Amino acid sequence: MPKQDADAVRAFRGLENSNSSVRLRAALAVGTTPDPGFIDKLIERCAIEPEFHVRDMLTWALTRHSAPMTVPKLIDELRSERAQARSQALHTLSKIGDRRAWPAITQALLSDADDEVARSAWRAAVVLVPEGEEPELAAVLSTQLGRGERAMQLSLSRALIALGEVILPILRAAMTDLDPRVSAHAIATERLLRDPDAGFEFAIEEAKRIVALGTTDQER
């Protein structure tokens, strides 16, 4: 338990209050006056907090604490059986940006069966990847091309595009994949890399037409 003054005790209890507004204020208070004694409670709440805005404030509060104290505990959360615990820990690690967490971003997380965990892993990976390892990360991310619906595919495209032009050879190989969802997603991602203002919806519909016609830019 943090220092036993009235404000600290109130904030500690507030994190468990049934009212989401109270929990939000408590997380704000903890982040405003960081205390290492709160770290475990913040991580515990991240795993079970139902409200997005409160989770975001919990993450902010964690970023206000010392990275050497928070990062190892967040890495431990990546092995949790609870999907939300893994997802929120990944999200928080991406906000902290400490590259010592990179080895914990495993291929298993990048291809996690839970969509939110996978999306959080993609975002964390592109933030934490060491210089020079972008091609290897792009190759792993490319195994997820074609996964899910539009929002999921857009998240992957954004992650790949954040890696820059190192993704081009991998995308061009994926454009000829026998799975039309994979090839269309690869084409759409390449379009967005070249023209970020095109919009994903337009890019994916154009990509579908290209796949249906059986032609890519490489063949023109």
For the chain, domain boundaries: 134-220
Q: Are 138 and 127 in contact (CB under 8 A)?
A: no
pLDDT number for residue 21: 96
Q: pLDDT per residue over 55-91, tens digit each?
A: 999 999 999 999 999 999 999 999 999 999 999 999 9
Burial 23-58 (b: 16+ CB within 10 A, else e): bbbbbbbbbeebeeebbebbbebbbebeeeebbbbb
Q: For residue 214, what pLDDT band results from cuts at 50, 70 and 90?
A: low
Tokens 């890399």 correspond to 193
Number of CB atoms found within 10 A of residue 179's CB: 12
Predicted TM-score (pTM) of this structure? 0.87
219 pLDDT higher than 60? no
Q: pLDDT per residue over 32-43, tens digit each?
A: 989 998 999 999
Burial 153-174 (b: 16+ CB within 10 A, else e): bbbbbbbbbebeebbeebbeeb
92 pLDDT higher than 50? yes
DSSP category for residue 99: G
pLDDT number for residue 5: 67
Q: For residue 10, what pLDDT band results from cuts at 50, 70 and 90?
A: confident
pLDDT number for residue 195: 82
5-19, 41-55, 57-71, 99-113: lowest mean pLDDT where?
Answer: 5-19
CA distances to 33, 59, 60 from 27, in Å: 10, 9, 8
Q: Are 133 and 187 in contact (CB under 8 A)?
A: no
Tokens (6 digits) for 203:
């890019």
Q: Are 166 and 188 in contact (CB under 8 A)?
A: no
205 SS3 class: helix
Q: pLDDT per residue over 144-195, tens digit each?
A: 999 999 899 999 999 999 999 999 999 999 999 999 999 999 999 998 898 8
